[in-house]
Amino acid sequence: MKSSEIEIMRTYLCSMDESLPAPVYNEIKINDEDKIYPYIQKLVAANLDNTKAKVGTFQEGDYLDEVVTDDPDDLEAFVSVVSDNVYDLVKNNAEMHSGSGIFVFCIVEEQPIVGFFKVNFQEHFVCKVSDDGRVNWVIAANIMPKATSKDYEFFLINVLDRTVLMSDSQYYFDGEHRENYIAEKVLHLKAQRSEKEKVDTIRDTTIDTIRECYKPEEVAAKVLDYKKEVANHVEQTGKVSVARIEQAVFDDNESAKAVYREKLEHERIEREPMQVSKKTERAYMKKQKIVTDNGIELLVPVEYLKNANFVEYLQDEEGNITILLKDIHTIKA
């Protein structure tokens, strides 16, 4: 998503510094000529496309439900509740860092989004020239990191469908296990797996089933069947379908099909096609990696995967595979 497509309606800044007796916040009036405007746009855009973000959904009556509205004028009530909550967590948890809270109400593709970013303070050496003309290095504390940095925690709520994207920011709160504080302590939701986690689980489950149910000399061709099918289906529909993968890869082996279904059920992967983001779609459509057992890695454009005019797979009587690359005019070092 282009950050320039995000329209910021209202913004609040909050100091969540544990040295202060309470969080301090206020609204800031900005427009697209202010330097902080593109900073916030980049934060929102990067995380709407963040395939590693955990997901969740608000139900009617859930915590924060009443203060998450489609009216930008209600943002202050939301800020008040969340800033108090997060400040208390920072104050009482040595693991959590002081930082600056950024609250935003924005419009993205005609959808109202309410967002929160806890941008953790950093310390850096900076070059200073003193009054006597001497140059020195000094430490500047409480510096805001760049928008491209990952030193922040966040959640973004689609106000209309009540879906949430959030960072997986885990800390110890009872000394025994770590919790995603954004989900558990702030939103009071149960975080679900990210898109990347689901996509990776489907990939690993498919390849594990192939290795378990087919002869060693058949594995490479089956893995290519899987990769080609996923790339084609994502290009056509924008979705990953385990049912389509099952049909393309395991239709010749009922035992493998049963094993595959059992593994998917164990991993809680639904058979309904899963919509994927443009980022994941682009990843499938660019290149696929082939890794040999001796550690050689090849990145092959999707359209060449099973095109014998460019890549040919030869197999001897002992099951050893030779990969022949064709129609090569130059090699770049």
Instruction: Please tell me the number of Cα atoms within 13 Å of 128 on its side-chain side.
Output: 11
161-170, 186-195, 212-221: range with lowest mean pLDDT: 212-221
Return phi, psi of residue 174, to 5°: -125, 10
At residue 231, the pLDDT reads: 87
**How far apart are alpha carbons 301 and 278 in whole angstroms?**
18
Q: How confident is the model at residue 225 (pLDDT cuts 50, 70, 90)?
A: confident
Phi/psi of residue 113, nearest 5 degrees: -125, 130
Q: Is the pLDDT of residue 305 over 70?
A: no
Tell me how far apart the alpha carbons of residues 119 and 153 are, in angstroms, rounded to a whole number. 7
With both helix axes pointing from N to C terminus, report the angle between 278-286 and 216-237 in degrees, rounded to the nearest 10: 130
Residue 25 pairs in a beta bridge with 14
pTM above 0.95, yes or no: no
Structure tokens at 200: 């990776």
